Amino acid sequence: MKTEVIQLNPNKPESAGILRAVELIKKGELVAFPTETVYGLGADALNAVAVAKIFIAKERPGNDPIIVHIAALEDIFKVAIDLPAFVWPLAKAFWPGPLTLVVRKSEMIPPAVTSGLDTVAVRMPSHHVALTLIREASVPIAAPSANLFGRPSPTTAQHVLEDLADRIPLILDGGSTFIGVESTVLDLSRFPPVVLRPGGITLEDLRSVIDEVDVITKIHSSETKGAESPGLMFKHYSPKAELMLFDGPEEQTLALMQAMGRDLTEHGKRVGILITDEDATLLDKKMLDIERLGPKSELSKVANRLFAAMRALDQRKVDIILARVVDSTGLGLAVRDRLIRAAGGKVVKLNEE
């Protein structure tokens, strides 16, 4: 199948492109589209056959449930039942936007969407292309990130093409996404609510609206059956090259990364470095392929470049990537989480003095 790409104005999407996408969604086909976080791979959430095609195109395991996207608050009643009171202040504060709520599913949602769970993950994206598409299709749209399973999520239409060319009929190209990491997944089916995946809405943001929020700490191995949020599996969001992650005081950590980089280079390896602007200035740039993530002081920029930088290092065909963790405040928690998963959970820890 040849993949068509239609360019759209991200703020005011042209109707011809939207209509083409709507036609495909209604026929039970897949359409990749931009959201404010990352590109999604959408299907009619009420059509089990269409949803099954998502798993095939992405090579996604069947035990990883998919987020259902809506365009108006009242649509949540189609998708979910027994809504806890928390839904309303959270939706008021953060929808449309990068917050996904896990609630009890309605009968209308086929089990293929939720991998057989009795809960469903729902979010209302803020990107105009996403909102217009959902509204015009007049169905909720099930959409995981539009990457091959395990790869970094796509933040441009080009990334989607890299992974899914000839596997899907259409990509709506709305340019780069705005946030660059996925939505925060908050489980409201238990008390207190638990963040299953840190993302675009920070823990601090959530705590400004609801008093008590936990963060899941246990990370499941890919072998774990019935993982609470299978997207939490280790080794996810990974570049092709192996990623080694370092955590510790600045000077020692950068010195060790520098030494490792030199050693690996001497052994004939091409070494990529994934690092913030501040850290980059402290590294010797000889021999190393450096991808800067932006300034640590502006974590939104770092989040926005993270996946693109991983893909850029793959394009440069590096053999190994060395990276340093960031602080876990604000969006840093999501960035740190994605780095740890990209490293398959292996972190080289240097002790504080």
**Rounded Cα gap, residues 313 and 272, in angstroms:** 6
Residue nearest to ligand TXA (CB): 231
Beta bridge partners of 136: none
132 binds, among Mg ion, ligand TXA, none (CB under 5 to 8 A by kind): none
Determine the interface stretch with Mg ion among 140-148, 171-179, 242-250, 294-302 (rule: CB under 5 A). Answer: 140-148
100's CB contacts (< 8 A; 6+ apart) are 67, 121, 122, 123, 183, 184, 185, 186, 199
- Contacts with ligand TXA by CB under 6 A: the residue count is 28
Determine the interface stretch with ligand TXA among 8-16, 116-124, 131-139, 210-218 (rule: CB under 6 A). Answer: 116-124
Write out the two tokens for 179.
Answer: 């946030």
User: Quick one: angle between helices 15-26 and 128-137, nearest 10?
Assistant: 50
Binding of ligand TXA at residue 120 (CB under 6 A)? Answer: yes
Binding of ligand TXA at residue 155 (CB under 6 A)? Answer: no
Interface with ligand TXA (CB under 6 A), residue from 32, 44, 100, 301 = 100
The widest CA-to-CA distance across the chain, in whole angstroms, is 61
* Contacts of ligand TXA in 164-183 (CB under 6 A): 182-183
Least distance CB 140 / ligand TXA (angstroms): 12
Burial of 92 (C-beta count, 10 Å sphere; 0-12/13-18/19+): exposed
Our CB check for ligand TXA shows the closer of 76 and 271 to be 76
Alpha helix ranges (H) inside 288-347: 299-315, 332-342
Our CB check for Mg ion shows the closer of 38 and 322 to be 38
Determine the interface stretch with Mg ion among 72-80, 144-152, 212-220, 268-276 (rule: CB under 5 A). Answer: 144-152
Our CB check for Mg ion shows the closer of 145 and 304 to be 145
Binding of ligand TXA at residue 37 (CB under 6 A)? Answer: yes
Q: What is the DSSP string of 56-86?
A: HHHT--TTS--EEE-SSGGGHHHHEES--TT
Interface with ligand TXA (CB under 6 A), residue from 128, 159, 197, 336 = 197
Contacts of residues 203-206 at CB distance under 8 Å and 24 or more positions apart, as own/partner, are 203/333, 204/329, 204/330, 205/93, 205/94, 206/90, 206/99
Interface with Mg ion (CB under 5 A), residue from 145, 155, 156, 184 = 145
Our CB check for ligand TXA shows the closer of 231 and 239 to be 231
Least distance CB 248 / ligand TXA (angstroms): 29
Interface with ligand TXA (CB under 6 A), residue from 17, 96, 144, 294 = 144
Binding of Mg ion at residue 229 (CB under 5 A)? Answer: no
Least distance CB 120 / ligand TXA (angstroms): 5
Q: What is the sign, positive or negative, of the torsion defined by CA atoms of 338, 341, 176, 275?
A: positive
Binding of Mg ion at residue 184 (CB under 5 A)? Answer: no
Beta bridge partners of 67: 121
**Rounded Cα gap, residues 295 and 278, in angstroms:** 6
Beta bridge partners of 291: 274
Binding of ligand TXA at residue 156 (CB under 6 A)? Answer: no
- 54, 81 Cβ separation under 8 angstroms: no
Residues that bind Mg ion (CB under 5 A): 145
Residues that bind ligand TXA (CB under 6 A): 35, 37-38, 40, 64-67, 98, 100, 102, 114, 117, 119-121, 125, 143-145, 182-183, 185, 196-197, 229-231
